[in-house]
Chain A
Amino acid sequence: PTEQALLQRFFEHI
């Protein structure tokens, strides 16, 4: 779950 959060946070951070 933490890895999912990291990926989603990265791509939504724009």
Chain B
Amino acid sequence: MLEAKLEQAALLKRIVDSIRDIVQDCNFECSESGLSLQAMDNSHIALVSLLLGKDGFTDYRCDRSISLGVNVGALTKILKCGGNDDVLTLRAEDKPSVLSVMFEDSIQDRISEYNLKLMDVDQEHMGIPDTEYSASVTMPTAEFQRIARDLHTLSDSVEIDVNKEGITFSCDGDIGAGSIVLKPSSNIDRPEQSINVEIVEPVTLSFNLKYLNHFCKASGLSNQVTLRLSGEAPLLVEYKLPNGFIRFFLAPKIGD
């Protein structure tokens, strides 16, 4: 059986919030080592990969691997019933039909428990190859979120260009064009504000801004986000989690 306790429900709430625009139904895979998820969006242009290692939980026990088929919208509704600061416990039997979600508010001595009906989710599990990326850029999540939001007011797509000078986001839409240039910088007092650019060779690719804005829903999970680009691979947008990560992959726009 699975029994997994998080000190703060906010972590799972934020994780589920950050994937619910992309994924409708998915399997949460629970194993001895932790909880993971891999799912594609309906249009098969983006893929989400989540890992929450067992050390990220206050208590974690999973005797044998369990697959929890979940409707993400339904899970969102149940998670909204708990407070951000509540202790959250997930429980499931070995062949579960429901996932039990318990919230404990220690200040008010309030315990609430909900059962989420599980479903069979037919999903192919794909391996993600180790990839040598041409460029990696780490920047503040708030900055990336602002860029994706601002450029989306002008256009549906963004061109990302990385070279040794820095990273440029630019777009050209019906009402006009825009661009933002970020140069590498290090901030010793506030390292989370630093911008780090690692480059093997310059790369320029275009992406759909709708998806980048969906990915930015994960901004509350980490101060920094890493973008990895290569001509031969989808864009990787990575947010580090306590003992894990949430990674979004997005195919570049082809043509136009």
| A interface with B by C-beta (< 8 Å) | 2-4, 6-8, 10-14
User: Which B residues are closer than 8 A to A by beta carbons?
Assistant: 40, 43-47, 126-129, 232-234, 249, 251-255
| B254 partner, pick from A6, A8, A10, A12, beta carbons under 8 A | A6
Which A residues touch B234, using CB under 8 A?
6-7, 10
* Distance of A6 from chain B, by nearest CB (Å): 5
Given contacts A14-B127, A14-B129, could you give 4 more A-B pairs where the C-beta distance is less than 8 Å? A2-B254, A4-B43, A4-B44, A12-B126
Offer 18 A-B interface pairs, CB within 8 angstroms, sorted by A.
A2-B255, A3-B45, A3-B251, A4-B44, A4-B45, A4-B251, A6-B234, A7-B40, A7-B45, A7-B46, A7-B234, A8-B44, A10-B129, A10-B249, A11-B127, A11-B128, A11-B129, A11-B249
Residues of A within 8 A of B255 (CB): 2
Which A-B residue pairs are the 8 nearest by beta carbons?
A11-B126, A3-B251, A7-B251, A4-B44, A14-B127, A2-B254, A6-B251, A14-B129
Q: Is the CB of B128 within 8 A of A6?
A: no
Contact B129 A7 (CB under 8 A): no
- Closest Cβ–Cβ distance, residue A5 to chain B (whole Å): 9
Cα-based distance from A4 to B251 in the complex (angstroms): 7
Residues of B within 8 A of A11 (CB): 47, 126-129, 249
Count contacts between A and B, CB distance < 8 Å. Answer: 41
A9 to B84, CA, bound (A): 39
- Shortest beta-carbon distance from A11 to chain B in Å: 4
* B40 contacts across to A, CB distance below 8 A: 7
Residues in B neighbouring A12, C-beta threshold 8 A: 126
The answer to whether B254 touches A7, judged by C-beta atoms less than 8 angstroms apart, is no
How far is it, in angstroms, between the C-alpha of A12 and the C-alpha of B44 when the chains are bound? 13
Give chain A nearest CB distance to B129 CB in angstroms: 5
Given A2-B254, A2-B255: A7 and B127 within 8 A (CB)? no
Q: Which residues of A have CB within 8 Å of B127?
A: 11, 14
Could you tell me the distance in whole angstroms from the C-beta of B250 to the nearest C-beta in chain A? 8
What residues on A are CB-neighbors of B46 within 8 Å? 7
Check B129 against A3 for contact (C-beta < 8 Å). no
For the complex formed, measure the closest distance between the CB of A14 and the CB atoms of chain B, giving whole angstroms.
Answer: 4
Rounded to whole angstroms, the CA-CA distance of A4 and B234 in the bound complex is: 10
Pick from A2, A7, A13, A14: contact of B47, CB under 8 Å: A7
Interchain nearest-CB distance for A7 vs B (Å): 4
Considering the chains assembled together, what is the distance between the CA atoms of A6 and B44 in angstroms? 10
